[in-house]
Amino acid sequence: AQSVAQPEDQVNVAEGNPLTVKCTYSVSGNPYLFWYVQYPNRGLQFLLKYITGDNLVKGSYGFEAEFNKSQTSFHLKKPSALVSDSALYFCAVRATGFQKLVFGTGTRLLVSP
């Protein structure tokens, strides 16, 4: 079975500070990992993915994520947050050989001026 946990319902950070949104996963075999962002009244937008290779993945809008196999984590990071980064962020996982993508419950990021 595949599962994803996003332990924080909301993350608050001041503009200019670094941000981290946490994600841990559970799959049998090798994972495909994704981060998506959702703005109000819109569909999800792809940010970045990890399939294989370098553990540090760089994505859109200055976001990056670090794959840690031993801790089964894929935390989303950004060195300097912007107010416009405020949105709902979803982590998702798919196991190799499976067709289904499983999403976490989402973390709301609030960046204050």
Partner 1 sequence: NAGVTQTPKFQVLKTGQSMTLQCAQDMNHEYMSWYRQDPGMGLRLIHYSVGAGITDQGEVPNGYNVSRSTTEDFPLRLLSAAPSQTSVYFCASSPDSHQPQHFGDGTRLSIL
Residues found near partner 1 in the complex (CB under 8 A): 6, 32, 34, 36, 41-46, 49, 51, 90, 94, 98-106
Identify which of residues 95 and 111 has a Cβ nearer to partner 1 in the complex: 95
Type of residue at 110: L
CB of 20 to partner 1, least distance (A): 19
CB of 23 to partner 1, least distance (A): 12
- Asked if residue 6 lies in contact with residue 107, where contact means CB atoms within 8 angstroms, the answer is yes
CB of 43 to partner 1, least distance (A): 3
d(CA 79, CA 19) in angstroms, rounded, equals 7
- Asked if residue 59 lies in contact with residue 85, where contact means CB atoms within 8 angstroms, the answer is no
